[in-house]
Structure 1
Amino acid sequence: MGVSTSGPDQGIAVVTVDFPPVNALPVQGWYDLADAVRAAGRDPGVRCVVLAAAGRGFNAGVDIKEVQRDTAAGGHGALIGANRGCAEAFAAVYECEVPVVAAVHGFCLGGGIGLVGNADAIVASEDATFGLPELDRGALGAATHLARLVPQHLMRALYYTSRTATAAELHAHGSVWKVVPGDELHGTALELAGEIARKDGLLIRLAKAAINGIDPVDVRRSYRFEQGFTFEANLSGVADRVRDTFGRPPEAADSKED
């Protein structure tokens, strides 16, 4: 359990996240992921990083129960830690010195969107779904990254409704490289990573820096701006009210005040 790094092929590092049961990461998990991705990118022998996950799905975002426990005890350390940890993990993927290929299966929600939205390429299994259920969980954020996956108006509709998009839909928009059966996901991701890793090591690093340099959006600053509204939601009390309905039957949630 946790974050691990392996090197199955020359020039490739695979960073795997494994936090059962649904890969909802605790605060330390986000920092561990950031450290692993940055370390892989700094390794002079690595020319491409594959970001993968074990278990039922790629990522379910922040461990809300950890935040709830801390809030119930009168603290905000878990909330602040989760926000900072997410920011560091997303930035680590974007700023990784070499290209990052995300291998996505099952659900990719919340913080998962922050990770894949900052990746250089995405390979997804046929069962993969992508979305931001933030409004249903008393939070905001990662619209910055969802906007890198789908057109602007679709991003807004998905964000406001908390609906998900399929891997096939994202492939149609050009943000997913390939959609494959689940048992082919790992191999397909490694195949793409291998093609990248065959490039000259220095040149691929210069290419990554050059592409980031012409990006029209400063993703780190944009995401931090969004996070400010998450803090406002918490200070106003609306975040706790919405989070308290998380996991309850719809009729119980509907009984809460607007």
Structure 2
Amino acid sequence: MTLTETAYAKINLALHVRRRREDGYHELETLFAFVDAGDKLAAQTSEQDEVTTVGEFAGGIDGPFDNLVAKALSALPRPQGIKITLEKNLPVAAGLGGGSADAGAVFRLVERLHGLPDDWQARAAKLGADVPCCVRSETVIGRGTGTELEPLDDNLKGTPVLLVNPREPLSTGPVFKAWDQTDRGPLPQGTARQIALEGRNDLETPAMGLCPKIAEVLSELAKDHAWLTRMSGSGATCFALYEHEGARDEALARLQQERPGWWTLAGKLR
């Protein structure tokens, strides 16, 4: 029997960087959301763990024992091995939490097969700050390094979304290093839509300094009928939210014609 899971693309509808911590990480306040598409994982029980990667972006991830899928498997106690085939559809180093989303999908696969240990959230956090929220892949507020999760009034389910990446990888570390250390205030309060509209991404400016094409992507997305355009995470992927699927699809068709070299993904918020 083969079980399948989607590793849903993570986007930050807002990302407020408050300060650099003594441990080297940054104190964040963010609104996580997830698109109903992403990488695909297929799993079968086996004598030992095994990870195979296929797909457009398979070449961009670490080797079979260093990638987050293998690490997630190692983090969870089980009575038998699991063989996983990862179809890598999301670009790497793109602000979409691709590796974290893959790890979250592994947690869901193990949960379906054997259940999760009571301390699964702590195990997920050790793999990366985005992994705990990716396990459930629901719209939540993240605080601390992003691992302290809070529910909220999510009135954005089903919102049409378009993701665009200029196919330039952008590592998280240099973007945070380029942040100007200025605290521009906390995350707004309210519904998911209110927070998204009134929030910001504090990493947008430093990311543009390292990858100028981000400004170009945002400029292109602003040409159509989106009610919000913003960079996700540490970039370089940007997103646009629309009231109707028709507006999103028109924007997608235009971009595919005018910017055929860019990566795009159309979907809805979960």
> Which TM-score tier does this pair reach, normalised by the shorter chain?
under 0.3
| Greater relative CO (CA pairs within 8 A, separation 6+) | 2
TM-score (norm 1): 0.23
Q: Comparing both structures, which one devotes a greater share of its residues to helix?
A: 1
TM-score (norm 2): 0.22
